[in-house]
Structure 1
Amino acid sequence: MTSDTIAAPRTPAPSRRRGSNLEKWGWIYMRASGVLLVVLIFGHLFINLVAGEGVRQIDFAFVAGKYATPFWQWWDVIMLWLALIHGANGMRTIVNDYVMHAGTRRVLVWALWLAAAFLILLGTLVVFTFDPCLGVTPGSELAALCTA
């Protein structure tokens, strides 16, 4: 067969390398995380913007109250992790599609994953170490709540 002919349908493909197919798992992750993110984000938006008093309820005390319960901490951390990994994987796909130089592509992909890892670490620390009483002065509105 020459290079200007098309293989007949159902012709076996040339043998592929063995091992894990990271592109396939990345594709599967994007679909699964996308579905989970839709549920998590719409739940987040409903609780924050629709339920209760709507957007008027969002203030420091609302956030402090949410982060006082492990359920909302884990909800937000899972949403953060899925969104950042989903976004970094999407950007990795764009870099792989459009950056032709292998060295530049490698540097950009590493930079994407390092930025995502840093933001995941920072966001997780903020959610789990959030202390509404940190830095409260005696005359502030939170002073009565934080003296206990």
Structure 2
Amino acid sequence: MTAAYDPPATRGIEAPRAPKRRVAGRKSNFEMYSWLFMRLSGIVLVVLVLGHLLIMNILDGGVHRINWGFVAGRWASPYWQVWDLVMLWLAELHGANGLRVVINDYARKDSTRFWLQLMLAASVVLILGVGTLVIFTFDPNMS
């Protein structure tokens, strides 16, 4: 062997944006729970979305039967309201969590990361608020 050989065990790779300091006695598992949420919500979303697509696009005439009356009849049932609400919340939080990771990976400056995450949080609150409001206040008798 030559003297220039440097075994992999002696080389160190610094973690990107590693925390500068840790608060003593406080250990956060946020990233682990975030990772776990992505996996579990992904599984549940596959079932919810495939069920939604099957019902809305394939069964009983497909998309040609979807109109105001169909939506009114569907959301008259608390079962379908909860189905659509869970699908909305899981999809929004799943996507926002993924985008949060992308922002953390690619935003170089702390200020840029802060503003991007603030805009992401604001959009999540807005979409969840409006979507939930629409599902629960939908009036089938609106003229």
The residue that corresponds to 1:72 in the other structure is: 80
Aligned residues: 124
Give 2:47's match in structure 1, choosing from 27, 39, 47: 39
User: In structure 2, how many angstroms separate the alpha carbons of the residues matched to 1:76 and 1:55?
Assistant: 17
User: In structure 1, how many angstroms separate the alpha carbons of the residues matched to 2:95 and 2:60?
Assistant: 31
Following TM superposition, the consecutive aligned residue runs of length 4 or more in structure 1 with deviations greater than 2 angstroms are 16-20
- Describe the superposition over 1:89-116 as per-residue Cα deviations: whole angstroms up to 9, x where unpaired: 1111100000010111011112101111
Q: CA RMSD in A?
A: 1.6
- SS of residue matched to 1:46: helix
Kindly, what percent of the aligned residue pairs are identical? 48
User: In structure 1, how many angstroms separate the alpha carbons of the residues matched to 2:121 and 2:40?
Assistant: 19
User: In structure 1, how many angstroms separate the alpha carbons of the residues matched to 2:136 and 2:35?
Assistant: 30
The residue that corresponds to 1:56 in the other structure is: 64
Q: 2:10 matched to 1:5? A: yes
Structure 2 unaligned blocks of 5 or more: 1-8, 13-21
Give 2:28's match in structure 1, choosing from 20, 29, 38: 20
User: In structure 2, how many angstroms separate the alpha carbons of the residues matched to 1:5 and 1:54?
Assistant: 62
The residue that corresponds to 1:101 in the other structure is: 109
User: In structure 1, how many angstroms separate the alpha carbons of the residues matched to 2:36 and 2:114?
Assistant: 22
* Cα drift, residue 43 of structure 1: 0.5
State the TM-score, normalized to the length of structure 2: 0.81
**Larger proportion of helix:** 2
Structure 1 unaligned blocks of 5 or more: 8-15, 137-148
* Cα drift, residue 46 of structure 1: 0.7
